[in-house]
Chains A and B, each alone.
Chain A
Amino acid sequence: MAEPPFGLLAELTHRCPLSCGYCSNPVELVRREAELGTARWCEVFDQARALGVLQVHLSGGEPLARGDLPELVEHAAGLGCYVNLVTSGLGLTARRLADLAARGVDHVQLSVQDARPGEADLIAGARAFDHKLAAAGLVRELGLPLTVNAVLHRLNLDRVDGIIALAERMGAQRLELANTQYYGWALRNRAALLPRPDQLARAAEVVAAARERLAGRMELVHVVADYHEAHPKPCMHGWGARQLTVAPDGDVLPCPAAGVIPDLGVENVRDRPLADIWHHSRAFNAFRGFDWMREPCRGCPRKELDFGGCRCQAFQLTGDAANTDPVCSLSPHRAEVDRVLALEPEPAAPVRRGFGR
């Protein structure tokens, strides 16, 4: 039997006041009518805790779009879970946050789009910048730990120093500088988002210097741009190893992007207990461990480090999820990544995330 998971990413809703073109949500967003209700989410948390989950990330979309968020927080916290609220900050008032904190939110992760209001609001597709500053102030006043998360891409990478300064001003304990990973909307907008190598090199220098300067005050987590690397990321620390995702409609996924892999056999919390899905479903066992691997992963010592990289990326770029992640320099499909990197940058703005008509 697989080890039990530590974390649950609960995508409570795909509704969001922002429309960032790098959103990792699937291009086919789940509509409000299809979302799980309050009682069903509470059941999901009960089952997740019994299975071994200790960390619940309340995410989306924007979790504040759910009117029952306070009840969901209280339920998850009551089970002894560490409750992380992943939010855009829009719709967060002093009263709402105080209520959520009293009900058990342990930590807030707040997104920022760019260092300057104009550019940030352009990416967000909404007047969001000032709300975020205000939201950070509220988090600080309540004494909750704050992580600021910024997704990096060609349009904001040259201002990474300003983003770091913004996170300091916001009073973050931790800043995640995450280069865009190409799933969902980000994959659709890849040509508009891919950074140039010189941008990445400069940003890496800025981040290294800031890390030294801020040691002991603010932790910097730097998620690298994997297309530009020689080895793949250890995606999810292995398939079905540590965390699971429940989508707004109750689909249970090994990672938030796994819905793109065809014929995976994704199951739903409405139909089968979570523990059964984690341990026994076809979807969760498809790429668990090392037995599914082909060469060059199978005989490679790095498989213990990177687990063959990302299954979704393998599918998206090679057409077969069981292939080595093609960002790996040992992959026979690496040429596809190099081809994408060699393309002329797309001058057009990214397509905005949103519900289709």
Chain B
Amino acid sequence: MSAVDVVPRLRPGVKRSYDEVRRCHVVLFPEGVLVLNETAAAVVGLCDGRNSVRDIAARLAAEFDGVRVADVVELVGRLAERRVVELRG
């Protein structure tokens, strides 16, 4: 299966939030806090267990300039490594 077909979703216990103090999007999870830039926040917002990485890239491309599928693959991989999302086929 290709990396663009995996379907990421937030792990149980992971919460998205906006931090008024740092003025940025964050994800909160048992191990810690991840500060997100605008694109990463948009990707995390689409990790709902329905969109594949390909879908997420397509949705983002409609919103932001210069979105590359490879970048989304890489970002989702890093989120999985940090145990923010889990991946299903």
Residues of A within 8 A of B (CB): 4, 6-7, 49-52, 54-55, 80, 82, 84, 106-107, 109, 143-145, 147, 173-174, 219
Are B22 and A4 touching (Cβ within 8 A)? yes
Please name 23 pairs of A and B residues whose Cβ atoms are closer than 8 Å in the assembled complex, sorted by A: A4-B21, A4-B22, A7-B33, A49-B21, A52-B19, A52-B21, A52-B22, A54-B26, A54-B28, A55-B32, A80-B19, A82-B33, A84-B30, A106-B15, A106-B28, A107-B13, A107-B30, A143-B12, A144-B13, A173-B11, A173-B12, A173-B13, A219-B83
Are A82 and B28 touching (Cβ within 8 A)? yes
Contact of B32 among A6, A52, A173 (CB under 8 A): A6
Which residues does chain A contribute within 8 Å of B26, judged by CB atoms?
Answer: 54
Residues of B within 8 A of A (CB): 11-13, 15, 17, 19, 21-22, 26, 28-33, 83
Query: Please, how many angstroms separate the alpha-carbon atoms of A6 and B35 in the complex?
Result: 10
Query: Please, how many angstroms separate the alpha-carbon atoms of A144 and B22 in the complex?
Result: 28
Are A82 and B15 touching (Cβ within 8 A)? yes
- When A and B form their complex, which 5 residue pairs have the shortest distance between CB atoms, in order from nearest? A145-B13, A82-B28, A52-B21, A107-B30, A6-B33
Closest to A219 in B: B83
A82 with B29, Cβ < 8 A, contacts A51-B21, A106-B15 known = yes
Which residues does chain B contribute within 8 Å of A219, judged by CB atoms?
Answer: 83
Contact of B19 among A54, A106, A107 (CB under 8 A): A54
Are A174 and B30 touching (Cβ within 8 A)? yes
Which residues does chain A contribute within 8 Å of B31, judged by CB atoms?
Answer: 174
Closest to A82 in B: B28
Closest to A107 in B: B30
A54 with B17, Cβ < 8 A, contacts A145-B12, A174-B30 known = yes
Q: State how many angstroms separate the Cβ of B49 from the closest Cβ of chain A.
A: 15
Which residues does chain A contribute within 8 Å of B28, judged by CB atoms?
Answer: 54-55, 82, 106
Q: State how many angstroms separate the Cβ of B71 from the closest Cβ of chain A.
A: 25
Which residues does chain B contribute within 8 Å of A143, judged by CB atoms?
Answer: 12
Query: Please, how many angstroms separate the alpha-carbon atoms of A49 and B13 in the complex?
Result: 20
